[in-house]
Structure 1
Amino acid sequence: MKPLPVLFGALFLSSLLASGVAQAHSADTFTVVIKESGLTPNTSQIAYNDSVVWHNTDSRENITHRIVFDFDGDGLFNGTDDWDSGELVAECNNTQTNSTENETECHITFLVWFNGTWGVGEYEYQDMLSDGTILNGTIVVTEDIHVENSTAPAIGSTFGTFENDDKETEDVVEESDADEMRRMLLLVGGGSGLGAIILLVILMRRSS
């Protein structure tokens, strides 16, 4: 077996396989804007491992929003797997943002990662306003799709010169050598026969 062609073949195969590695979906963050007119968008479709952030821009006085999801269906939003953003406001004043005591009381955004407990599926949630209004929204989570590069060779494809190719080449060389030997033997045999005939003719002439 010739090692150099085999090495080139292996390197070529590795480069092709590397270009065809499955590429996974990279996680993204999608924003739902909370407006005075409602949720924008009202329905969002994302992939597993993405996240959604709700951002409150409703600056009406004394109006807050609360994003909730009742995972266990008990009518409350205090379960381990429930969502409850708390009261979301449109703006935090300097006193609230700089005060350690009030820091947890002022929230403008709410983030949920859709992996683990919150996986593939459809999530119908509510936006509960402080004036009693309830808005409905939906998050649809699909499977994380992997895309494969179609330029990769099929499994079992071979490249370069390998052991079987060398054996076939050696067999061809051996057959060629055998044919050459047979031709030489025929030539020698033919020459010997011709020499015998000439010698016989000479002897017959001398005897006559």
Structure 2
Amino acid sequence: MAAEHGPADIYDTSGDGIEPKTAAEVAAAGHRAAEAAADFLQALTGCMTPMNLRPVYRDVEYATQMLERTARALSEAAQSINSGVPLALKFGDGEEPWTEARGGPVLSPLQILSLAKTAGGLAPEETTTYSAAIQELKPLPALIADKQKMEAREQSRAEGQELHDELLADMESRSCASCGAAPGDPCTAASGNLTGPHAARRHTSPLAAGHPEAAAGVRRVDPKFLHR
């Protein structure tokens, strides 16, 4: 049975290869994780094999406390969002909440709860609701935005490497007037080490002429230097 969407559950993460979850479902998952961590603590205490589990216990205890606090904040924030609790238009220090400087345009659970607390006693025109702000701004969820940026960087690196390899192959398909390398052979330095391609090859490559900046950075590294 599909979970009922809240008013701010507006972004379908399936297009990013991630199963969509409502804010309420995320909060519930947090509570399950906290409960599982608490069970792990009990298991550590009951371990029948004599071992020094104190360091492990301390780490898990801290993680459990963090999970419990996080799950509680998520749950309260989701309830505030879904019930339309008024949020102050500004933080208590007077700063705008929906800005990159404060991690925006989306807010953290603690920021949402802080704005809800600040809204107490304010006039209606000094408040908004999270769903109203999100419907107007239509931002990406922060983790999805990070994922898309990372994928874009990886794609750019892959395309850059692909172009590098194409440029190298095209330049080395021509003879080199500098070192005498035949078409298909790499350039060599006076020491005999592989190098280049030399500028003479770059200047005779139509592909290099079309990508001068990328071509200037093309290098062949002698394999014997790779594992030093």
TM class by shorter-chain length? under 0.3
| Structure with the higher fraction of residues in strand conformation | 1
Q: Which has the larger Rg?
A: 1
Q: So what's the TM-score if we normalise by structure 1?
A: 0.22
| Structure with the higher fraction of residues in helix conformation | 2
Tell which has more relative contact order, 1 or 2 (C-alpha 8 A, sep 6+).
1
